[in-house]
Amino acid sequence: MNILVTGGAGFIGSNFIRHILVKYPDYKIINLDKLTYAGNLDNLRDIEHIYGLSEKRYGFVRGDICDAAVVNEVVGRKPDAIVHFAAESHVDRSITNSQEFLQTNILGTRVLLEAGRQYNIGKFVQIGTDEVYGSVEDGYSKEEDVLEPNSPYSVSKVAADLLARAYWITFGTPVVITRSSNNFGPYQYPEKLIPLFILNLIEGKKAPLYGDGMNVRDWLNVSDNCEAIDLVLHHGKIGEIYNIGGDNERTNLDVTRTILDYLNFDENFIEYIKDRPGHDRRYALDSSKIKQLGWEPKQRFEEAIKDTIEWYRNNEWWWKRIKDGEYRKYYEKQYPVG
């Protein structure tokens, strides 16, 4: 199979590319990524060497999914499927300025869907999020639940999912949608809770916890999400939506304490700060539909968080290049815009 992955230089996209190329020795991937601040080809250094230069099964194109010329060029190479990760992904940034979120997440998705339609793509996997259901005080969100997005980010993700659905209904574009909970693992940009707190503590700084720390998220190891997306890519029913939850509900305070304990810090290293505006209290998914397809999360939070902390401890080269901006300087030179 030939796959076009968008946003493959980001956190989940890079883990997914590695998962697919290792598991399927005859598959090829093209990675289309704009290389925003969150796109980092250091995430794929090993992949570039083994599967790019030597096996010629991986190729990178720097480009914006909003640019129809670039998108048509790569979709015109006739991949069998598109797996669409590219997005602005950080809720706090969408609160400060939502422009790029609406541009990339909605209009960029439209450009891709349109190219998929024109070139008769075999499958279009739209990567969505559990945030589209809004805050769930009790119970678990099912795929057919009402959508109640509360941040500019989640609004943009709702619009993208609904556009994808509309392309299926209107044009028969073979769309499948996944909606996962909070991912964690290697190569996550250190603006998100888990890598931010780990690196702050490693550097002797405090962990900035919003509000009372009692907001609940369901944590999904990125390797479990990659397996689920792989399953949906191959066996997901066209026109369907699949929730992907980790069955690891934790308050932010619990997550913080787990990280503090493992790194031998006490609670004086928590700094309670002003809450995020519109902060959703709880997300929780009912994942029974994808479980019926044959998937279940393998990683338990307590073990996977230790592996994740160890990964950040052992890969200082990776996060130091983010903190000093070297990764951007390096790849801007290698892949200049225009």
Q: Residue 85: which of ligand NAD, ligand DAU, none does it interact with, CB under 5 to 8 A by kind?
A: ligand NAD
Tokens representing 152 are 């500019």
Neighbours of 260 (CB within 10 A): 18
Q: Select the span of 84-92, 165-173, 263-271, 299-307 touching ligand DAU (CB under 6 A).
A: 84-92
To the nearest whole angstrom, how small is the minimum distance from the Cβ of residue 174 to ligand NAD?
Answer: 19
To the nearest whole angstrom, how small is the minimum distance from the Cβ of residue 54 to ligand DAU?
Answer: 33
Q: Which residue matches tokens 């998937």?
A: 295
Applying CB under 6 A, among 5, 86, 207, 233 the residue interacting with ligand NAD is 86
- Let me know if 48 is a catalytic residue: no
Applying CB under 6 A, among 15, 36, 40, 89 the residue interacting with ligand DAU is 89
216 Cα distance to chain centroid: 19
Applying CB under 6 A, among 123, 192, 250, 257 the residue interacting with ligand DAU is 192
From CA 115, how far away is CA 121, in angstroms rounded? 8
Residue 217 lies near ligand NAD (rule: CB under 6 A): no
Cβ contact 66:107 at 8 Å? yes
Applying CB under 6 A, among 3, 4, 5, 13 the residue interacting with ligand NAD is 13
In degrees, rounded to 5, the angle at the alpha carbon of residue 86 between the alpha carbons of residues 259 and 336 is: 105
To the nearest whole angstrom, how small is the minimum distance from the Cβ of residue 89 to ligand NAD?
Answer: 4
Task: Locate the DSSP E strands across the chain.
Answer: 2-6, 28-33, 58-62, 81-84, 123-129, 175-180, 182-184, 207-210, 216-221, 241-244, 249-251, 270-273
Cβ contact 255:201 at 8 Å? no
Applying CB under 6 A, among 18, 217, 250, 289 the residue interacting with ligand DAU is 217
Tell me which residue has its CB nearest to ligand NAD: 10
Q: Which residues contact 114 (CB under 8 A, 6 or more apart)?
A: 68
From CA 26, how far away is CA 268, in angstroms rounded? 52
Residue 208 lies near ligand DAU (rule: CB under 6 A): yes
Applying CB under 6 A, among 5, 12, 125, 305 the residue interacting with ligand NAD is 12
Cβ contact 164:126 at 8 Å? yes
Cβ contact 245:130 at 8 Å? yes
Residue 105 lies near ligand DAU (rule: CB under 6 A): no
Give contact residues for ligand NAD (rule: CB under 6 A): 6-7, 9-13, 33-36, 38-39, 64-66, 85-89, 104, 108, 127, 129, 157, 180, 182-183, 189
Give contact residues for ligand DAU (rule: CB under 6 A): 89-91, 129-131, 181-182, 192-193, 196, 208-210, 215, 217, 252, 276, 283
